[in-house]
A and B are shown apart, each in its own frame.
Chain A
Amino acid sequence: MVNDKDFDLINRFRSGDESAFNDIVREYQKIIYWHALRMTGNHMDADEVTQQVLIVIYQKISSFNFKSSFATWIYSIVHTRSLNQIRKNKLKKIFSFDDINEDKLLSSNNIFESFEDKEKIEKLNKVLETLPIKQKEVFIMRIFDQLTYEEISKITGKSVGGLKANYFHALKKIMEAGID
């Protein structure tokens, strides 16, 4: 289940080699960040989720049981944390008078290499925002992370049939909405 590189990294860390954690960060930080960015739709939240996930990995790696791949285990943490962040934002929106989205858009100004890249991401987020969360999660994992339904099922804890149904409806919705 776990590839040799991951197996070596995990065992190094478990035997007390702290530098192995830095290697894990280098290896997985981009996957974590991108998944979080697509799920939450902004850099500020994606950055928060990424840091949280890396801390969880550091704290919980000793409980990793090698039954799934290391990547699947990490995905399940990112996924849960992203959903938590989305819920937090919904609550904040209810109780806050300020425009939170404006701050979040400003925070992503310095992250992308070019202005065109920033515009592309904003466009992508607009498309993804049209989907309900259940359709969005399976759509992101199928299209961008290229995971199988079985892997997504392990990460989300949902049935393969249910995931296929959500993916089908996501595709229909995106085709109807189109892209400008």
Chain B
Amino acid sequence: MINDNELNKTELEAAPILDKIKSLNEVKIKDAYFNNMIPLVHIRMSKKKSRLKIFSAAAYALSFIVTIFAMLPLLSSLDNKEQNSIAESMNETVLSSGLNIVDEAIYVNRSDKNIEIDFPDDWEDAIKEYYANEINQSPSYFVYQDLSSEEIEAVYKRLEK
């Protein structure tokens, strides 16, 4: 800790040299420099603003791209879920409405061992695959299920039309 008296004493001793130093500071700067300061600062601020705008636009675009990439797996899983839910609802419809849906949507030509399925053209591959799998796994699926032999014949006749 410096004693105040000691500091004042040193300041007094240094007075002549401090006066010299102060005199070195007595210089003049051209007025033009300070006169230009206001427009200069305004120009720099507007440049900064436009740079900020560019940066924020770039940051926004980047965050948008990142979000899209981050959401891709989610979107594809949603898509799968949607397709599955369509398939499930179709299945339910098939089961509930029985022959009508077979008549309208899927044409099944069944011999004893082989099944040929003719799907409508506008059906998604995933749905086609789903139904093909279901029908293959269950031989009595759709047309054969709980039907009498007369009824099966009737179905075939309708299918042949």
Contacts and interface: CB of A to CB of B under 8 A. Distances in A.
Decide if A and B are genuine partners.
Answer: yes
Interface of A: 22, 25-26, 29-30, 33, 38, 50-51, 54-55, 58, 110-114, 117-118, 120-121, 123-124, 127, 143-144, 161, 164-165, 167-168, 171-172, 174-175, 178-179
A120 B27 contact: yes
Contacts of A29: 34, 37
What are the 3 tightest A-B residue pairs by CB atom distance, in nearest-first order? A117-B27, A124-B24, A113-B28
Contacts, number: 90
A165 B45 CA distance: 40
Contact of B14 (A30, A120, A175): A175
A124 B25 contact: yes
Contacts of B11: 171
Given A55-B45, A112-B27, A127 B34 contact: no
Given A25-B37, A111-B29, A168-B7, A55 B21 contact: no
B70 interface: no
Contacts of B17: 174-175, 178-179
Contacts of A113: 27-30
A164 B7 contact: yes
B2 A111 contact: no
Interface in B6-51: 6-7, 10-11, 13-14, 17-18, 20-30, 33-34, 37-38, 40-41, 44-45, 48
18 contacts: A25-B38, A30-B34, A33-B34, A51-B40, A54-B41, A58-B41, A58-B45, A112-B27, A120-B25, A164-B7, A165-B1, A168-B2, A168-B6, A168-B7, A171-B11, A174-B14, A175-B10, A175-B14
Contact of B2 (A25, A114, A165): A165
Contacts of A172: 10
A112 B28 contact: yes
Given A55-B41, A58-B45, A111-B29, A123 B7 contact: no
A178 B144 CA distance: 114
Given A29-B34, A124-B21, A179-B17, A168 B27 contact: no
A131 B21 CA distance: 14
A159 to B, nearest CB: 10
A98 to B, nearest CB: 25
Contact of B29 (A25, A112, A165): A112
B45 A117 contact: no
B78 to A, nearest CB: 45
B21 A161 contact: no
A168 B24 contact: no
A51 B29 contact: no
Contacts of B38: 22, 25-26
